[in-house]
Structure 1
Amino acid sequence: MTTGQSKANREFGEYDSDTDDRGAGYPQDGEYERIREKARNRLKKLAKHKEPHVAWHTCVGPQVRWGTQEMLWPVSPRAMQGSATPRICALSTPKKDFQAGTVHYNRPMYYYSSGRASVIWSVSEGAKEGAATERVESLAQPKAFHGDLHEHKPQFFYSCGRVTPIWPVSRGAMGSNERPRTTTLAGHRPYHADFKDERPIQSVVSAAARTTRPNEHISSLAMPKKRSEGPFRAPQWPVSDQVKTSVATGHCVELACSKPLAEGFQHAKEVEWPISKGAKRAQASGRIIELAQPISRASMDHLQFNPNAFTVKESALKGVIPGRIEDLAVPMNR
């Protein structure tokens, strides 16, 4: 056997002898390694989830991965190579920012108002104490009324103060002919040149469309798709005698066994467990009885009747502080 054939056999898990390069010096090691590799591949295959059988009665559409930019349906190469229309190019143009390059760019007033200039920002002290110039004072003067103005005209009583046609119209004005300009202004606004009216609900079918004949391709597309009844079987089917008398292999029996518990596993302790008779007859020792006695302290209500409640003992008054406590009481110098 040549070197090329040997490498080809090793690639598919076959070996020419039990003492090959993987088990050199140890007989049967190469065969054991091949069996381990084959079992490892088998376990990897069994560990994968079952792939669904896609058929016409089980297909639920394409597999969509959420969170990605992939299309739901594949885009044709012709659509990817197509060019945008002028209308799409015009719609994709971003809106012009008129504030860019000006003093109003990103000012806080656009967060507290409708975007117009306002005095929300702080005013300097110099601006508050400044005096208006003669030009500003002249512009601040209100517009003077006309010399022939007569207040309290009828139009002020029947309207908001603006000129209205409440006064009488002369006969000449009522009998005059309209001008071409007036006719033009009285007309409605014309539609856009590219405006198209809505299509009627019932469209008129032409005579040619009513007498035409479909071609072979359209006829073939109009035919319903032939589908099988599906891989369904009867609820009861006969079982052969060979299957009834067959015996499972050792590997099938091993796979059919349930997963064993880990070594050293202990079941959960029951909520109620029986108490031994020795524990029921046990007697508490004197020390346990002494520790079981509750601590009795005087109530705070009785302190008013005890004049020596807050008296310091003589031994406490003569006590000396240890050196360790004095060292700990010294504050740290930082």
Structure 2
Amino acid sequence: MAAVQDDGDQGAEFERIRESGRERLLHLAQPKEPKSEWYTSVGPHVRWGTQEMIWPIKKETLERGSTERLDQLALPKMNFMKGDKINRPQFYFSCGRSSVIWRVKPEAKEAQTTERTQVLAEPKRPHKEYKDDRPQFKYSCGRQSPIWGVDRNALSCGDRPLTNQLARHKTPHRDFKPERPIRTPISHAALKAEATERLLTLSTPKPRDEGPFRPPEWGVTSSAKNATATSRCLELARPKPVVDEYKLPRDEQWSVTRAAKRASASGRIDELSRPIVRATMDHVQFNPDAFHVKPLALKGSFPSRVEQLARPIER
């Protein structure tokens, strides 16, 4: 009854919203429809937006106390941090904060370094054959290029014929023709020319009648109706005959004769219609006489050829 009353109140609320003109709000207030089909849904139907349990909880389950194992699992995890480390702020190593990895003790600041620490603190030495002949980063970005200095005599020297020849730009091929402009210039005579009578005739559109046109069917004359076909027309109108021994195809279904209905199967047909009876795989695979030797085989003798093949190869 409470569910019916709730549905009635919800319907009244939707009706009030519809009457106020807020249809968009009514559309958004509707719950989401499930996408599952009836043949794939498992369990009762659960409406979206509710916090109700899928299956109701029994009264005995609600009144039942917890076990010792549940009490043990419900205990919070023990905090093993001591002293000033308890509840320390997070994001110690985040961007924009000072480094609080650890604090250096005053005793550590006054202590002297060991011999091993001094050896590790020494910078790496260059190779013994290394020669620092010129400063580094000569060709780096933002520095003046000190590749080499130019002599005063070289600055006042004149140009050589080879230098002038190398300084010339590459000339085009002797058969090279520059590209034509996009628009071709029209001559003054062509602009003032008049069209000939032949051009005017060709440019005239094809005349077409406006109608009414002749209907697609027209009357047949009486002489054509009374005409008779010639022997040649009759010969051409004759359909292609079939072969003399041609037989028409049989129907898909035909009646069974009375003799065939009363016929009885012969002994041979009964024998062929019997199914083949085979032994099961358990009996086929299990053979108790598989390793049994026949008495005749025990009394037999090997031929000379078998005895010859059974001898080991002498090496």
TM-score bracket, shorter-length normalisation: 0.3 to 0.5
Name which structure has the greater RCO, CA cutoff 8 Å, separation 6+. 1
Q: Normalising by structure 2, report the TM-score.
A: 0.37
